[in-house]
Amino acid sequence: MSTIRYQSPDYYWVDELLTDEHKLIRGSVRDWVNRAVIPIIDEANQKHEFPRHLTKELGEIGAFGPYIPVEYGGAGLDQIAYGLIMQELERGDSSIRSAASVQSSLVMYPIYKYGTEEQKRKFLPKLATGDLIGAFGLTEPNHGSDPGSMLTHFTDEGDHYLLNGSKMWITNSPIADVSVVWAKDGEGKIRGLLVEKGMEGFTAPETLRKWSLRSSLTGELVFDNVKVPKENLLPCIHGLKGPLSCLSSARYGIAWGVIGAAMDCYDTALQYSKERKQFGKPIAAFQLTQKKLAEMLTEITKAQLLAWRVGVLRNEDRATPAQISMAKRNNVKMALDVARESRQILGAMGITGDFPIMRHMMNLESVITYEGTHDIHLLITGNDITGESAFS
């Protein structure tokens, strides 16, 4: 209901920092979200279903690999455009943004950055169109925040690698055609392997009964003596910085994406507060409601400026992992707080599927955990400013 009348807030005229092309891209993704996502997303969440039919459309609107060069099927856009696309998608639902984040930053990016020319030609164009779906396997059942301790490993068997181990909490795993899997080689160095659907000994069971990201598929990746052809190794990267560099790209997208969820909650609460009357006047007239709305808009505005600045730094190839980490942490927490405050403004109506707020709030409980938990990101900033690692 509210989203059809959606008006994105722009209190500091951040639009003036955008090019005409940025605004055009944002407008077309917003139109697509209004048309394709908003009408179906509440029911898909209620039914715990991933709207699979949207993957091809996401490819068509350029949401898969927006910054991957055109010669490999991407859209060749800059980082601000990528961020704006993520913002619009997450205004629809974090699950939709997740699908685009994983495909773009966690699958296409490592293949583009660390893959062979053959790997790029084989996978990137089809990932860009959504003809292939990708997944990224870093987290393990016993190694989440500390991926460097992973157990998944492979041995060199002469004409192929033999892969054993398992990954957990993997977005898209049950439907992925290709999974970028991080595993240790015989010397204990972390390497990236492209594991394809159908390889013998490879299974990807779905994780069910989630209360969050219910329109996103999550699952495991299980490797039982999987023979991986040697040409499926990403040759140009060794060590934990491989997967972490992909995370930097995805975390940046999340820093923008969650602003979309926050804007949707704020806009819904603002409209509702003007229409809902108690004690003979709109609840918007009460000082405590105004305090909530004023604080929400302030935090959204600060988050917009943070995301925009990190985008400029990324366009100049100057953004540090710690700067991106701060933007992810701040903006996700901001969005979760905005969702909780907005939910209060709607009273009982706030818990229903008639409004998007509760769905955003539940989704954001995953977003504050994945791609590095809120506390891990605090410690990344702590490490950066003190020079002391709390991890080792």
Stretch that binds ligand TGC, among 1-9, 145-153, 223-231, 293-301 (CB under 6 A): 145-153
**Least separation in angstroms between CB 88 and ligand TGC:** 16
**Least separation in angstroms between CB 84 and ligand TGC:** 17
Q: Which of 2, 45, 104, 139 binds ligand TGC (CB under 6 A)?
A: 139
Question: Using alpha carbons only, what angle is made at residue 314 by residues 311 and 315, rounded to the nearest 5 degrees?
Answer: 90
Tokens describing residue 69: 């060069």
Neighbours of 291 (CB within 10 A): 11
Residue 240's binding partner among ligand FAD, ligand TGC, none (Cβ under 5 to 8 angstroms by kind) is ligand TGC
Quick check: 193 and 230 in contact, CB under 8 A? Answer: no
Site for ligand TGC in 233-262 (CB under 6 A): 239-241, 244-245, 247-248
Residue 249's binding partner among ligand FAD, ligand TGC, none (Cβ under 5 to 8 angstroms by kind) is none
Rg (alpha carbons) of the chain, rounded to whole number: 21
Nearer to ligand FAD, 242 or 372 (CB): 372
Stretch that binds ligand FAD, among 14-22, 38-46, 51-59, 367-375 (CB under 6 A): 367-375
Please enumerate in sequence order all residues whose Cβ is within 8 A of that of 77, keeping only pairs 6 or more positions apart, or say none.
Answer: 25, 62, 66, 67
Listing DSSP states for 302-329 in one string gives HHHHHHHHHHHHHHTT---HHHHHHHHH
d(CA 62, CA 184): 34
139 lines the binding site for ligand FAD (CB under 6 A): yes
Nearer to ligand FAD, 165 or 372 (CB): 372
**Least separation in angstroms between CB 140 and ligand FAD:** 8
Residue 375's binding partner among ligand TGC, ligand FAD, none (Cβ under 5 to 8 angstroms by kind) is ligand FAD
d(CA 321, CA 41): 33
Residues with catalytic roles: 371
Q: How many CA atoms lie within 13 A of 1 on its CB side?
A: 11
Q: Which conformational region is residue 355 in: left (phi greater than 0), alpha (psi within -120 to 50 degrees), or beta?
A: beta
Stretch that binds ligand FAD, among 71-79, 183-191, 229-237, 368-376 (CB under 6 A): 368-376
Site for ligand FAD in 13-32 (CB under 6 A): none
Q: Tell me 363's DSSP state.
A: H
136 lines the binding site for ligand FAD (CB under 6 A): yes
Nearer to ligand TGC, 9 or 321 (CB): 321
Q: Produce one character per residue of 261-273: b if its CB has 16 or more CB atoms within 10 Å, e if not.
A: bbbbbbbbbbbbb
Neighbours of 35 (CB within 10 A): 10
**Least separation in angstroms between CB 108 and ligand TGC:** 14
Instruction: State the amino acid at position 163 in one-letter form.
Output: L
In the complex, which residues of this chain contact ligand TGC (CB under 6 A)?
A: 98, 101-102, 136, 138-139, 145, 147-148, 171, 239-241, 244-245, 247-248, 321, 370-372, 376, 380, 389, 391-392
Give the footprint of ligand FAD on this chain (CB under 6 A). 102, 136-139, 144-145, 169-171, 213, 218, 366, 369-373, 375-376, 379, 391
